[in-house]
Amino acid sequence: MCGIFGYVGTPAPVGAMVLGALRRLEYRGYDSWGVAVRDHDTVALAKRAGRIGEAAVTLPDSAIGFGHTRWATHGGVTDANAHPHLDESGRLAVIHNGIIENFRELREELEERGHEFRSNTDTEVVVHLVEEALAAGRSLIDATRDTFMRLHGLNAIIVMDVSQNELVATKTISPLILGLGDGANYVASDTTALVEYTRDVVYLEDNQVAVLRPDEVLLLDLHTGAPLPLRRERVDWETGDMSLGGFPDFMSKEMAEQGRVVRQIASGYGDYTRALATLIADSFGTFLVGCGTASYAALTGSYLFSRIARRHVNAVLGSEFKYQEHFLTDRSLALALSQSGETADIIEAMLTSRARGAQIGALVNVRGSTLDRMADFSVPLGAGPEQCVLSTKAYIAKLAILTLTAHTLAGTPEIGRDILGRAADALDRFLSEGGSARVRAVAERIGAADHLYVIGRGLNYPTALEAALKIKEVSYVHAEGFAAGELKHGVIALLSEGTPCLVFAPMDETRDDILSGAMEMKSRGGLMIGVSPQHDPVFDIYIPVADVGDASPIVNALPAQLLGYHLAKLRGYDPDKPRNLAKSVTVK
Ligand code: F6R
């Protein structure tokens, strides 16, 4: 969370440059933004609550500047709480990503010593601590080191002092990447913000301190201050098309790309899925770990491996993993599923797994991300940049890879390729044959509903959970997904006349039971919306999807994504940036 970009070089219109980079990073947080540049012996600052939008800054040209897009953790969404934060003299500025767990103690201590706070953020303690260390005669580098060592939690900070021609940065878990240019150097939370300027990068590791100057970048050990070698890497992959390409928003663009993503996995992922299948076969206990949408891909994986490959794999929520770590051994395989590759809970789960000697695998979309680099074996999702905060095509890519891997493990990769090929065509056909308009009509019909329920069984139970998440996070309609068999155990009490209920009824062994559940809901007033290859009288509204066998979770996801999308649009919400969310969840 929080996008960060910094520049040190020859004097330039840094304000506009930083703002441009922040626009590309805004999916990391869009509560507020801010830019600071050195202006002789003061910091010139522009910061504001709200999205960047068409904002422009009028800041002087400068050789040093940085900026931040915020996802609020401590303190409301206000101008004062936006980063950068300055010290009392206005000579020091700080930007930060993370949560300073001990900020209350630090703030009390600093207030007792007379510091005045201008914000409610945890971040502001950093600038006052650095200020004190400088006053005590420490260099900017050492003052930053001293300060960072006092912070608890997973954090990244960058410090600017107008008397120095340098930026000092350090981090734990929260990503920072250094960009090495010609007469200029850069730092960012994300490679995508750097490639416009340079493809030579250094991934800052935990407990390293980077000192960026126009003509050099130094790396030091946080604890000892000893110099460290700079491990330069070349970004040799394309960041992909980041434009809207004629679509009204990224969500529609990314939903439309799903057929291509699945087709590419069906035809080109043989080597990856063979290697993954071998790792799973050789492990004694495989754990699929994900958060949110990725956790539903993981849960789908556990059904796929069970039914296709007769193999038990565990699906675990990233944030709950540490409470189940006791099952890990040096023969376990922990497989991280993540679009961003930066989700703090997943990184922590993988660090725990590594500490127990387990092997680490990853299915990750963002190349060069923390999980991509830390995994022993990483499979790229190949979905291309996912810029809508909601995960759509990365989810579908995870499902496709898991489906093909399960079939490979079962010795039937050709069946996997076949059903994925059919699913890819079905996704494209759904959109080209008016599926979106059909779902929009459903959204119009149920638009006034406050609650919506989704049921599925077996392979499509996780689909129901994912459908409900997609609908609620973008449209703010309260949606809940259930295993249809659980209805009579309490859930059915929620139904009243006209409550919309989405029903996933594929042509598999779950069909009869799911239709019985739907009938029970209908008898209690539910408005049944069937997503199925075949109509049934229980459906009040029918959304036809193709019959693609065990790839049904892939084709079923699209109507649910579209339903969320159209409900959001009808209610006047931006589907790409739902309230309170951010794309990379780098805090716990
Ligand atoms: C929902 C969504 C989130 C993410 C979750 C994990 O649409 O996008 O639930 O799936 O935050 O993110 P990644 O996949 O980046 O680890």
Which of 299, 346, 391, 398 for a ligand 1 pocket mutation test, highest count of atoms within 8 Å of Cβ?
391
Q: How far is the CA of 227 from the centre of ligand 1 (A)?
A: 37
The 10s digit of each residue's pLDDT in 179-232 is 999 999 999 999 989 999 999 999 999 999 999 999 999 999 999 999 999 999
Tell me the longest C-alpha to C-alpha distance in the chain. 80
Q: Report the nearest atom of ligand 1 relative to the CA of 392.
A: 7
pLDDT of residue 181: 96
Phi, psi of 433 (to 5 degrees): -105, 30
364 in contact with ligand 1, CB cutoff 6 A: no
586 in contact with ligand 1, CB cutoff 6 A: no
pLDDT at 473 exceeding the cut of 90:
yes
- CA-nearest of 5, 8, 31 to 580 is 31
Q: How far is the CA of 339 from the centre of ligand 1 (A)?
A: 7
Spell out where 373-497 has E strands.
377-380, 451-456, 478-483
pLDDT of residue 580: 83
Q: Report the nearest atom of ligand 1 relative to the CA of 293.
A: 10
Q: How far is CA 406 from CA 250, 276, 417, in A?
A: 31, 9, 11
pLDDT of residue 11: 94
Q: Report the nearest atom of ligand 1 relative to the CA of 294.
A: 10
Who's near 54: CB < 8 A, 6+ residues apart?
Answer: none
390 in contact with ligand 1, CB cutoff 6 A: yes
Q: How far is the CA of 243 from the centre of ligand 1 (A)?
A: 21
pLDDT of residue 338: 98
340 in contact with ligand 1, CB cutoff 6 A: yes
Give the span between the Cα atoms of 95 and 83, in whole angstroms.
6
343 in contact with ligand 1, CB cutoff 6 A: yes
pLDDT of residue 124: 96
Q: How far is the CA of 554 from the centre of ligand 1 (A)?
A: 17
126 in contact with ligand 1, CB cutoff 6 A: no
293 in contact with ligand 1, CB cutoff 6 A: yes
585 in contact with ligand 1, CB cutoff 6 A: yes
The 10s digit of each residue's pLDDT in 257-303 is 999 999 999 999 999 999 999 999 999 999 999 999 999 999 999 99
Q: Report the nearest atom of ligand 1 relative to the CA of 343.
A: 16
User: For 117-134, what is the mean pLDDT?
Assistant: 96
Spell out where 365-492 has E strands.
377-380, 451-456, 478-483
Q: How far is the CA of 294 from the centre of ligand 1 (A)?
A: 6
pLDDT of residue 261: 98
338 in contact with ligand 1, CB cutoff 6 A: yes
Rg (CA), the chain: 25
Ligand 1 atom 7: the closest Cα is on which residue? 390
The 10s digit of each residue's pLDDT in 484-529 is 999 889 888 889 999 999 999 999 999 999 999 999 999 999 999 9
297 in contact with ligand 1, CB cutoff 6 A: no
Cβ atoms of 180 and 202 closer than 8 Å: yes
Tell me the HSE value of 406 on the side-chain side, using a 13 A CA sphere.
26
pLDDT of residue 526: 96
314 in contact with ligand 1, CB cutoff 6 A: no
What percent of the chain is helix, strand and coil (3-state, nearest 5)? 40, 25, 35
Give the span between the Cα atoms of 588 and 352, in whole angstroms.
15
Q: How far is the CA of 130 from the centre of ligand 1 (A)?
A: 35
pLDDT at 15 exceeding the cut of 90:
yes
Q: In what order do the strands lie in the sheet with 32-39?
A: 42-49, 32-39, 62-70, 3-12, 185-188, 177-180, 200-203, 233-234
Cβ atoms of 153 and 127 closer than 8 Å: no
Ligand 1 atom 5: the closest Cα is on which residue? 292
pLDDT band at 73 (very low <50, low <70, confident <90, very high): confident
391 in contact with ligand 1, CB cutoff 6 A: yes
Q: How far is the CA of 341 from the centre of ligand 1 (A)?
A: 10
pLDDT of residue 461: 98
Q: How far is the CA of 338 from the centre of ligand 1 (A)?
A: 7
pLDDT of residue 241: 80
- CA-nearest of 417, 422, 404, 423 to 272 is 404
Who's near 320: CB < 8 A, 6+ residues apart?
Answer: none
370 in contact with ligand 1, CB cutoff 6 A: no
Which of 25-39, 132-146, 168-182, 419-433 bottoms out in mean pLDDT, i.e. has the lowest? 25-39
pLDDT of residue 286: 97
pLDDT of residue 588: 76
Which of 339, 374, 389, 469 for a ligand 1 pocket mutation test, highest count of atoms within 8 Å of Cβ?
339
Across the chain, what does the average pLDDT equal?
Answer: 95
Q: How far is CA 572 from CA 365, 480, 565, 566, 581, in A?
A: 30, 22, 11, 10, 17
353 in contact with ligand 1, CB cutoff 6 A: no
pLDDT at 237 exceeding the cut of 80:
no
Crossing angle (nearest 10°) for helices 258-268 and 413-432: 160
pLDDT of residue 53: 84
pLDDT band at 583 (very low <50, low <70, confident <90, very high): confident
pLDDT of residue 103: 95
Q: How far is the CA of 44 from the centre of ligand 1 (A)?
A: 36
Pairing of strands 208-212, 167-171: antiparallel
Tell me the HSE value of 498 on the side-chain side, using a 13 A CA sphere.
6
Cβ atoms of 214 and 183 closer than 8 Å: yes
The 10s digit of each residue's pLDDT in 384-394 is 999 999 999 99
pLDDT of residue 325: 84
Say what percent of the chain tops pLDDT 70. Answer: 100
Q: How far is the CA of 468 from the centre of ligand 1 (A)?
A: 14
387 in contact with ligand 1, CB cutoff 6 A: no
Give the span between the Cα atoms of 492 and 146, in whole angstroms.
57
Catalytic residues: 2, 583
pLDDT of residue 17: 96
pLDDT of residue 488: 85
Which of 340, 374, 470 for a ligand 1 pocket mutation test, highest count of atoms within 8 Å of Cβ?
340
Residue 107 structure tokens: 């703030």
Which of 293, 335, 345 for a ligand 1 pocket mutation test, highest count of atoms within 8 Å of Cβ?
293
**First and final C-alpha spacing in the chain:** 10
